[in-house]
Chain A
Amino acid sequence: MCQECDETGQHLFVMCKVAQNIWDLCERWVGLANVRHESITIHFQSFDLACRRKSASITWKGMWVAIVTELWNHRNKVVFNRGVVNAKEIFTLAQLKGWCWLKHKFKRVTFSYSDWHFSPLQCLDTLD
C-alpha cells in the first residue's frame, strides 16, 4: 500500500507505515503500549493485555484478527478498486467489527458501542 517496499505479509501488516499507523491508533485507544515485534507470529502472541485477566487478554486477540482482516480488505480495495489508503478508516472499521463480535458472541454484553469506543478495557472486564 505504501508503494515503497516489496509487499510481503510481514511488510504489509507490521513494518509498513500504514500498518504502524493503525497499531499506533490501537495502542492509543487502550492506553497501553507494547513492544512491536517484526515477526508476525510473535506480534500476534504479544498482542495482549498483560495487566488484565487472561480471559480478557484472549478476547482482546480478536481485535488483532479484526485489524488484520480490515487491513487486508482495505488493501484489496486499494489494489483492485482504486481505493484510497486510509489508516483511520481501517482502524474504525476494526473497532466496529470487534464490538459486533462481542455483542453477538457474548451473552453478557451490556455496553454500547460508545462505551466500547471510549473505554474498551472496562468493557472487556465486564465479560466474565
Chain B
Amino acid sequence: MDGQVLKEKFPRLFSISQCSESVVGDIAHRDNITSEGCSRWCLGWRRERFIWEKQEEEQMVALISNVRWYTDAQDRLVWVGDGVNKQEYTVKSGYSVLNKEDLLQRLEIYKVLWSLRIVPSTIVCAWRLLLDRLPTRYNLAKRGIQLLD
C-alpha cells in the first residue's frame, strides 16, 4: 500500500493475526466486494485485541477498504522498478535498481585492488576477504561445517 507493506506498517497486528499467510481473496468477504472496494474483511486474530490494537485495526481496514478491485481481471506480476519506468521492465531500469546499492563503489575498490602491482595469489586472498568468501569458522559453520578445536 503506497509503497509500504502492511506487515511493516502494522507490525503488531501482523504478529497477532491468524491470516498472515492468507491471500487477499481469502479474507475479503465475497458479497461485499464492489468495484469501489471491499467493506468487510474476515480477519482472524490469535487472541482478544487490546483497545489500541482495535484502533489500529480500524485504521488498517479503512486503508484497505478503499482499494479499487478489478473483479474480472487475472492476477499478474508487476515490475515496480526504479520508480521511473513503472510497470514495464527494461534492462535499464533493472540496471539502475542494482546500481543503487553501492555496487559501483565496490567495483571501484576491486579495480584498485586488481591494479596493484603485487603477487596475484595474494590479491585473491584479499579479494575473497572483501567479498567475505574466506573460509573462516563462521563462514564454514554457515555451510554446516564445524572445525574441531
Q: Which residues of A contact B (CB under 8 A)?
A: 6-13, 40-41, 44-45, 58-59, 61-62, 64-66, 68-69, 72, 79, 97, 101, 105-106
B109 & A41 in contact (Cβ 8 Å cutoff): yes
**Which listed residue, B117, B119, B129, B147, touches A72 by the CB 8 Å rule?**
B129
B116's nearest neighbour on chain A, judged by CB, is A62
A7 & B129 in contact (Cβ 8 Å cutoff): no
Where chain A touches its partner, the secondary structure class is helix
CA distance A106 to B125 in the complex (A): 22
A105's nearest neighbour on chain B, judged by CB, is B117
CA distance A40 to B147 in the complex (A): 24
How many Å from the CB of B41 to the closest CB on chain A?
Answer: 45
The total of chain B residues at the interface (CB under 8 A) is 22
**Which listed residue, A7, A11, A45, A101, touches B118 by the CB 8 Å rule?**
A101
B138 & A7 in contact (Cβ 8 Å cutoff): yes
Show 8 A/B contacts (Cβ-Cβ < 8 Å), sorted by A: A8-B139, A40-B129, A41-B130, A58-B112, A61-B112, A62-B116, A69-B122, A72-B125
A61 & B116 in contact (Cβ 8 Å cutoff): yes
B123 & A65 in contact (Cβ 8 Å cutoff): yes
How many contacts A-B (CB < 8 Å)?
Answer: 68
Contact partners of A64 in chain B: CB under 8 A = 126
Q: When each residue 111-148 of chain B gets 1 if its CB lies under 8 Å from chain A and 0 otherwise, what string results?
A: 01101111100110110011010101111000000010
Contact flag A79-B116 (CB < 8 Å), given A40-B129, A72-B125: no
Contact partners of A13 in chain B: CB under 8 A = 129
Given A45-B109, A69-B126, 11 more pairs with CB closer than 8 A: A8-B139, A11-B138, A44-B113, A61-B113, A62-B117, A64-B126, A65-B113, A68-B126, A69-B122, A72-B134, A101-B117
Contact partners of A44 in chain B: CB under 8 A = 109, 113, 126, 130
CA distance A91 to B148 in the complex (A): 27
A9 & B118 in contact (Cβ 8 Å cutoff): no
A6 & B138 in contact (Cβ 8 Å cutoff): yes
A58 & B106 in contact (Cβ 8 Å cutoff): no
CA distance A23 to B137 in the complex (A): 22
A65 & B126 in contact (Cβ 8 Å cutoff): yes
A106 & B109 in contact (Cβ 8 Å cutoff): no
CA distance A69 to B113 in the complex (A): 13
CA distance A45 to B110 in the complex (A): 10
Leading 9 A-B pairs by shortest Cβ distance: A7-B137, A105-B117, A8-B138, A69-B122, A65-B126, A101-B118, A69-B125, A62-B118, A7-B136
